[in-house]
């Protein structure tokens, strides 16, 4: 977990990971763009390999570009393949609309969270 905290510092506070109820809370907020993709990918891979429930709070997303959406979609698919639950605590209207526009809502399992 300490390695993820160091990575989070590099993500300028847009991505925060904490332990919660035997799993992890992943908070996504602000503007998420291509400059964060590499480090975000590292955080998400680390979370999936922990094999604990991951709750995603995306209510604070103000802007979400397609590169980040692709990384998040791959994260959800990989988690499902490893039987790791990804639960969406909430998602901003901006993020939900962006994800819906490119057709990834069902893949990411966010239809019920929007």
Instruction: Report pTM.
Output: 0.86
In 53-104, beta strands by DSSP E: 54-64, 86-91
Q: What is the pLDDT of residues 15-72, one digit of tens each?
A: 888 888 889 999 999 999 999 999 899 999 999 998 899 999 999 999 999 999 999 9
SS3 (DSSP) at 14: coil
Q: What per-residue confidence (pLDDT) applies to 5?
A: 42
Q: At what angle do helices 2-10 and 37-49 cross, to 10 degrees?
A: 160
For the domain covering 2-108, report its CATH number: 3.30.750.24
Q: What per-residue confidence (pLDDT) applies to 48?
A: 93
SS3 (DSSP) at 114: coil
**Domain limits of the chain?**
2-108
């Amino acid at each position: 977990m300490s390695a993820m905290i160091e990575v989070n510092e590099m993500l300028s506070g847009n991505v925060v990971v904490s332990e919660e109820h035997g799993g992890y809370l992943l908070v996504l907020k602000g503007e998420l763009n291509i400059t964060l993709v590499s480090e975000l990918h590292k955080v998400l891979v680390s979370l999936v390999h922990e094999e604990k429930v991951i709750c995603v709070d995306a209510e604070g997303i103000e802007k979400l570009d397609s590169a980040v959406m692709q990384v998040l979609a791959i994260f959800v698919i990989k988690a499902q393949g490893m039987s790791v639950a990804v639960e969406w605590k909430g998602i901003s209207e901006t993020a939900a609309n962006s994800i819906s526009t490119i057709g990834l809502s069902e893949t990411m399992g966010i239809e019920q969270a929007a």
